C-alpha cells in the first residue's frame, strides 16, 4: 500500500485540468529534473571524501559530518517505518540505538570480534529488544504504546548505567574501531560503509512499504478491525514491522559506535533523539525520501550555526514548530500534494461494465451436500443488561444470498460480529463449513469468511488499487525477506495481483479510479470499493453489512451483479440490508430478527407474507404491500 507521497496521484481536486502542471510535457520535464537532481546528489555523496580532501584542511571532520547525518538518517528511516507507516509511536529509538551500540562495543572491544560481527549482533539486539517491548504492549493503543516505549527507553539507559561488566557503566565503552586485518579502517572507507548501509536501508524501506507486508502494516495502522477482516493478524504485522525497525535502529547504533569509537548511556537520552523526530516531520513522515532529506537539512543547519551551538535545541524546536504550522506534511509530503509535485491522473474511462467475470472472483465447489457455509447455533450475546442476541440460529448455505433483516437495534450487526468473532459470544457455537470457527477475527477471515462493515472502513490515505491489493494479503505466499529482496517469486505475484486487482475494479465499474486516493471517491464508490476489496480476499463466505446505503442506481446495479456472480460461483453471500426492494430481489433466503430473536426465516415470498414480520419488523403492513 503506497501512501500519498510515494506514488498515488492527487487528492479530491485532482480532476482539475488545463494548467501547465497537468500537461504531459511538464511531467516529463519534472521527472527528468528530479532524476538529474538525484544523480547529482548521489554523485556528490560518492565523491564527498575526494571533494573534502581536495578543498579542506579538515577533510576528516567534513567526512564525519556527512557520515553522522547518514547514520541519523538510518535511525530516522526506522522511526518513519514505525510511526509513519506502522502507526506505532516509538519513544525508544535512541534507546534502541544505544542497545545496538553496546552490542558492537562489547563484541569488538571485550571479545575482540570483528566489526562486521558487531554490526550483525547490533541488528539482532535491536530486533530482540524491539520485539520484546512490542510483545508486552500488543494491546496498547497509540499513546499508551508511546508511553511504554518511553519507559523501555529509560530502562535501557539505566541498564547501560548499571551493567558495568558489559556496558562499562557511566563511562561506557571506548576504543571501538572497525579494523581491516590489523589496521583500523580509514575514515574514508568507513564513510562508504555507512553510505552503503543507508542505501540498503532506504531500499529495504521502499520495498517493504510497496509490498503486501507493508500494506498489511498500514492496514493495521488504519484499522485493526478491518485488517483482521482481511485475514491480517494485527499482532503479527506489528511485531514484524517493529522488529525490523529495531534491527535498523540497532544498525545505526553499531555505526555510531564504530564511527565515534565509543558508546555511553547518554547516547540513549531523549535529547539526542530529538533530531530524529524533527528530521522526520520536517522531511515528511510516511514518505520514503523524507527522513533522509529532513535529517540532511538539519545536519546542514546545525553545521551552519555551530558557533552558536548553545542555541541548537532552541533552533530545532522552533524549526519543528514552524514546520508543523506551515508544512504539516513535511517538505516531501507538501511537494507531493502540490500541483507541481502531483502525478498526472490517467483520464477517466467511464464505459459499460465488462461482461466477462475476472478469474480473481473466487469459486467454491465440492462442498458436501447439506453442509452450511456458515452456521450459528444458539448464539447468545449480552451487553450488560442489553440482550442483543438471545439464542439465535442461522444457517447460510453455499451458492446462496442470505439476507438478515430486522428493525433497527434488532441485533443484525451483533450477530455478524459474533459469527466473525469480533464479539466473544456468551453461549452458542459458530461453524464454518461444518468445522468450529477459529477463535480470532483474522482466523475466521483466514477460514474463508470476509466481512464488510456497516460503517465504511476504507484505507483512505492510500490508492484505490492499494486498497484492493491489501485484500489479497491472505493469498500472498512470499516472506518479508522475499519482498525486501524483490525475489522473482515476489515480483511474479506482485505483477499478477496488480493485474487482477485492476480487472476486479473494472468489473465493479471503478476502473478509471484505480490510481486515485480512496478518500477522493464518492460515498457510493467507497462502499463499492469495500466490497471489491473483500472479494479480492477470495472468501468463501462474504458478509455485507448494509452495503447499499448511499449507492446510486448504477452502483446498486453493479453491487447486485457482483453478488449474483458470487452466488453463481458457489459463494455464500450474507446481506444485512434495509433496502427491502434490493434484499427481496436478490436473496434466496432470509432470516428476520427482532429484539435479538429470530422471528421468521425462509424465502422472500414466505417472509413477505409472514404475519410476524409484518407486525414486528415493519409494524406497517401497508409498507410491505407497497414494496411487494
Ligand atoms: N458494543 C455494544 N455495547 C452495548 N450495546 C450494544 C453494543 N453493540 C450493540 N449493542 C446493542 O445491541 C442491540 C443490537 O444492536 P445491533 O447494532 O446489533 O442492531 P442492528 O440490528 O444491527 O441495528 P441497525 O439496523 O441500526 O444497525 C442494540 O440494542 C444495541 O444498542
99 and 231 inside one domain: yes
C-alpha cell, 425 = 459470544
Q: How far is the CA of 353 from the centre of ligand 1 (A)?
A: 37
User: In this structure, are 406 and 448 located in the same domain?
Assistant: yes
Ranges 6-20, 242-256, 265-279, 468-482: which has the least confidence = 6-20
- Is 361 contained in some domain? no
Q: Is 423 in the pocket of ligand 1 (CB under 6 A)?
A: no
**Per-residue pLDDT at 476 exceeds 90:** no
Instruction: Answer yes or no: do 478 and 600 share one domain.
Output: yes
pLDDT at residue 168 greater than cutoff 90: yes
Which pLDDT does position 346 carry in this prediction?
Answer: 65
Residue 13 included in any domain: no
Confidence of residue 552 (pLDDT cuts 50, 70, 90): confident
Give me the number of domains the chain comprises.
4
Q: Is there a domain that residue 142 lies in? A: yes
Please name the residue whose Cα sits nearest to atom 4 of ligand 1: 383
pLDDT per residue over 564-622, tens digit each?
Answer: 999 999 999 999 988 888 888 899 999 999 999 999 999 999 988 888 888 766 555 55
378 and 462 fall within a common domain: yes
The total number of residues shown for the chain amounts to: 628
Say how many Å lie between the CA of residue 389 and the centre of ligand 1.
9
Are the C-beta atoms of residues 252 and 97 closer than 8 Å to each other? Answer: yes
What's the half-sphere exposure (Cβ side, CA atoms, 13 Å) at 380?
A: 8
Residues 261 and 275 in one domain: no
Whether 157 and 300 map to the same domain: the answer is: no
Q: Sorting pLDDT into bands at 50, 70 and 90, what band is 557?
A: confident
Non-local CB neighbours of 410 within 8 Å, separated by 6+ positions: 593, 594, 595, 596, 617
| ipTM field | 0.96
pTM of the predicted model, to two decimals? 0.84
| Strand, helix or coil for residue 52 | helix
Residues 218, 220: Cα–Cα separation, whole Å: 5
| Residue 621 included in any domain | yes
pLDDT at 55 over 60: yes
Cα atoms in the 13 Å half-sphere on the side-chain side of 526: 20
The pLDDT of residue 15 is 45
Domain membership flag for residue 409: yes
| 121: exposed, middle or buried (Cβ count in 10 Å: 0-12, 13-18, 19+) | buried
On whether both 253 and 274 belong to a single domain, the answer is: no
Mean of all residue pLDDT scores within the chain: 89
Q: What are the residues whose beta carbons fall under 8 Å from the beta carbon of 27, sequence distance 6 or more? A: 343, 344
Protein residue with least CA distance to atom 1, ligand 1: 383
Looking at residue 4, its pLDDT comes to 41
Q: Is the pLDDT of residue 399 over 70?
A: yes
Share of the chain above pLDDT 90, in %: 65
Say yes or no to pLDDT of 354 above 80.
no
Closest CA to 234 of 137, 92, 96: 137
Residue 519: what pLDDT? 87
- Predicted confidence (pLDDT) at residue 480 exceeds the cutoff of 90: no
**Per-residue pLDDT at 501:** 94
**Cα gap 309→316, rounded to integer Å:** 11
For 559, residues 6+ apart whose C-beta sits below 8 A from its C-beta are 508, 527, 528, 531, 547, 548, 551
Q: Are residues 213 and 298 in the same domain?
A: no
CA distances from 38 to 63, 198, 558 (A): 20, 15, 45
pLDDT value, residue 351? 64
Same domain, yes or no, for 235 and 283?
A: no
Whether residue 119 lies inside any domain: the answer is yes
Q: pLDDT tens digits for 427-458?
A: 999 999 999 999 999 999 999 999 999 887 88
Read off the pLDDT of each residue in 223-250 and give the average, rounded to a whole number.
94
Q: Does ligand 1 have an atom closer than 6 angstroms to the CB of 392?
A: no
The residue out of 230, 248, 268 marking a domain boundary is: 268
The reply to whether ligand 1 has any atom less than 6 angstroms from the CB of 406 is yes
If you measure from the C-alpha of residue 387 to the centroid of ligand 1, how many angstroms do you get, rounded to a whole number?
Answer: 10
* Pairwise pLDDT comparison (279 vs 555), residue with the higher score: 279
Cβ of 424 below 6 Å from ligand 1: no
Residues 424 and 557 in one domain: yes
Does the pLDDT of residue 108 top 60, yes or no?
A: yes
The mean pLDDT of 234-253, rounded to a whole number, is 96
Confidence class of residue 252 from pLDDT cuts 50, 70 and 90?
very high
Q: Residue 415 Cα, ligand 1 centroid: separation in angstroms? A: 9
Provide the domain limits for residue 276: 270-342
DSSP H stretches of helix in 80-141: 93-105, 115-136
Q: Are residues 183 and 214 located together in one domain of the fold?
A: yes
Cα 39 to ligand 1 centre (Å) = 58
Q: Interior CA angle at 456 toward 452 and 462, to 5°?
A: 100
User: Are 250 and 274 within one domain?
Assistant: no
Q: How far apart are CA 293 and CA 330, in angstroms?
A: 10
Mean pLDDT in residue range 359-366: 82
Res 21 pLDDT > 60: yes
Amino acid at each position: 500500500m503506497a501512501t500519498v507521497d510515494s506514488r498515488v496521484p492527487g487528492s479530491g481536486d485532482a480532476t482539475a485540468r488545463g494548467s501547465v502542471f497537468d500537461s504531459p510535457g511538464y511531467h516529463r520535464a519534472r521527472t527528468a529534473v528530479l532524476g538529474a537532481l538525484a544523480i547529482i546528489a548521489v554523485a556528490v555523496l560518492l565523491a564527498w571524501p575526494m571533494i573534502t580532501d581536495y578543498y579542506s584542511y579538515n577533510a576528516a571532520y567534513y567526512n564525519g559530518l556527512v557520515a553522522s547525518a547518514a547514520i541519523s538518517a538510518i535511525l530516522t528511516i526506522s522511526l518513519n517505518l514505525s510511526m509513519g507507516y506502522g502507526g506505532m509511536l516509538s519513544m525508544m529509538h535512541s534507546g534502541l540505538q544505544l542497545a545496538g551500540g553496546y552490542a558492537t562495543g562489547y563484541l569488538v572491544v571485550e571479545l575482540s570480534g570483528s566489526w562486521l560481527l558487531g554490526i550483525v549482533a547490533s541488528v539482532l539486539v535491536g530486533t530482540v529488544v524491539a520485539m520484546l517491548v512490542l510483545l508486552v504492549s500488543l494491546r496498547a493503543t497509540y499513546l499508551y504504546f508511546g508511553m511504554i516505549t518511553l519507559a523501555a527507553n529509560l530502562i535501557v539507559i539505566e541498564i547501560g548505567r548499571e551493567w558495568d561488566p558489559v556496558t562499562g557503566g557511566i563511562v561506557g565503552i571506548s576504543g571501538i574501531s572497525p579494523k581491516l586485518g590489523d589496521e583500523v579502517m580509514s575514515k574514508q572507507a568507513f564513510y562508504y560503509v555507512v553510505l552503503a548501509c543507508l542505501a540498503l536501508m532506504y531500499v529495504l524501506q521502499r520495498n517493504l512499504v510497496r509490498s503486501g507486508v507493508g500494506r498489511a502494516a498500514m492496514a493495521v495502522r488504519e484499522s485493526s478491525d478491518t485488517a483482521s477482516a482481511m485475514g491480517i493478524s494485527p499482532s503479527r504485522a506489528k511485531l514484524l514491522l517493529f522488529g525490523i525497525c529495531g534491527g535498523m535502529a540497532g544498525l545505526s547504533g553499531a555505526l555510531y559506535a564504530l564511527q565515534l569509537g565509543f558508546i555511553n548511556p547518554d547516547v540513549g537520552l531523549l535529547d539526542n533523539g530529538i533530531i530524529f523526530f524533527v528530521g522526520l516531520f520536517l522531511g515528511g513522515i510516511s514518505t520514503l525520501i523524507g527522513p533522509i532529506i529532513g535529517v540532511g537539512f538539519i545536519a546542514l543547519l546545525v553545521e551552519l550555526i555551530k558557533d552558536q551551538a548553545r542555541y541548537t535545541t532552541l533552533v530545532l524546536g522552533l524549526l519543528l514548530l514552524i514546520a508543523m504550522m506551515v508544512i504539516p506534511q513535511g517538505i516531501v509530503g507538501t511537494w507531493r500534494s502540490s500541483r507541481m509535485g502531483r502525478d498526472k491522473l490517467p483520464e477517466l474511462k467511464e464505459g459499460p461494465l465488462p461482461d466477462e467475470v475476472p478469474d480473481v472472483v473466487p469459486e467454491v465447489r465440492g462442498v458436501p451436500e447439506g453442509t452450511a457455509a456458515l452456521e450459528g447455533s444458539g448464539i447468545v450475546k449480552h451487553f450488560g443488561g442489553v440482550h442483543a442476541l438471545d439464542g439465535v440460529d442461522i444457517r447460510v448455505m453455499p451458492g446462496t444470498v442470505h439476507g438478515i433483516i430486522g428493525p433497527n437495534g434488532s441485533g443484525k450487526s451483533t450477530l455478524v460480529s459474533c459469527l466473525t468473532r469480533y464479539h466473544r459470544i456468551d453461549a452458542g457455537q459458530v461453524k464454518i463449513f461444518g468445522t468450529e470457527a477459529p477463535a480470532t477475527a483474522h482466523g475466521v477471515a483466514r477460514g474463508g469468511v470476509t466481512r464488510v462493515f456497516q460503517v465504511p472502513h476504507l484505507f483512505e490515505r492510500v490508492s484505490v488499487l492499494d486498497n484492493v491489493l491489501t485484500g489479497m494479503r491472505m493469498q500472498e505466499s512470499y516472506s518479508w525477506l522475499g519482498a525486501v529482496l524483490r525475489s522473482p517469486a515476489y515480483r511474479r505475484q506482485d505483477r499478477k495481483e496488480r493485474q487482477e486487482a485492476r480487472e476486479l475494479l473494472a468489473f465493479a465499474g471503478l476502473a478509471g479510479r484505480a490510481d486515485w486516493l480512496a478518500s477522493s471517491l464518492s460515498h457510493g464508490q467507497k462502499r463499492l470499493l469495500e466490497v471489491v476489496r473483500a472479494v479480492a480476499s477470495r472468501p468463501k463466505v462474504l458478509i455485507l453489512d448494509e452495503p447499499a446505503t448511499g449507492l446510486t442506481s448504477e452502483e446498486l446495479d453493479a453491487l447486485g451483479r457482483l453478488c449474483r456472480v458470487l452466488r453463481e460461483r458457489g459463494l455464500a453471500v450474507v446481506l444485512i440490508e434495509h433496502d427491502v426492494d434490493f434484499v427481496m430481489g436478490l436473496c434466496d433466503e432470509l432470516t428476520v430478527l427482532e429484539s435479538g430473536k429470530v422471528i421468521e426465516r425462509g424465502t422472500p415470498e414466505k417472509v413477505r407474507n409472514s404475519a410476524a414480520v409484518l407486525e414486528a419488523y415493519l409494524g406497517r403492513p401497508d409498507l410491505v404491500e407497497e414494496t411487494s
